[in-house]
Amino acid sequence: MHNAPIEYGKPPVEAKVKWASLGGFLGSVGLLAVLQAVDADHSLIAWWPDWAEAVTIPLLPTAIGAVAGWKAKHTARPDLPVNKR
């Protein structure tokens, strides 16, 4: 009487997610390297207000991750019906 539920294949991790994660990781590593180099000379960031440092520093990895995710292509799911793609 009732149709059995449709089972779809296990969805792959999308390329967008992989690239955004890699971009966030590399951005964080790069930012930490810069901050360690700057640690010897605090005058490079001392002129920023404390609130600006707290907001601006995390923006670099976030921006890199967002751009990497935006630029990566969507992973196609040919196993899904047309109306679910």
Confidence band, pLDDT 50/70/90 cuts, at residue 9: low
Confidence band, pLDDT 50/70/90 cuts, at residue 42: low
Confidence band, pLDDT 50/70/90 cuts, at residue 53: confident
Confidence band, pLDDT 50/70/90 cuts, at residue 40: low
The DSSP output letter for 18 is: H
Task: Determine the pLDDT at residue 82.
Answer: 73
Question: Could you give the maximum distance between any two Cα atoms of the chain, in Å?
Answer: 75
Task: Determine the pLDDT at residue 5.
Answer: 67
Token digits of residue 1:
């009487």
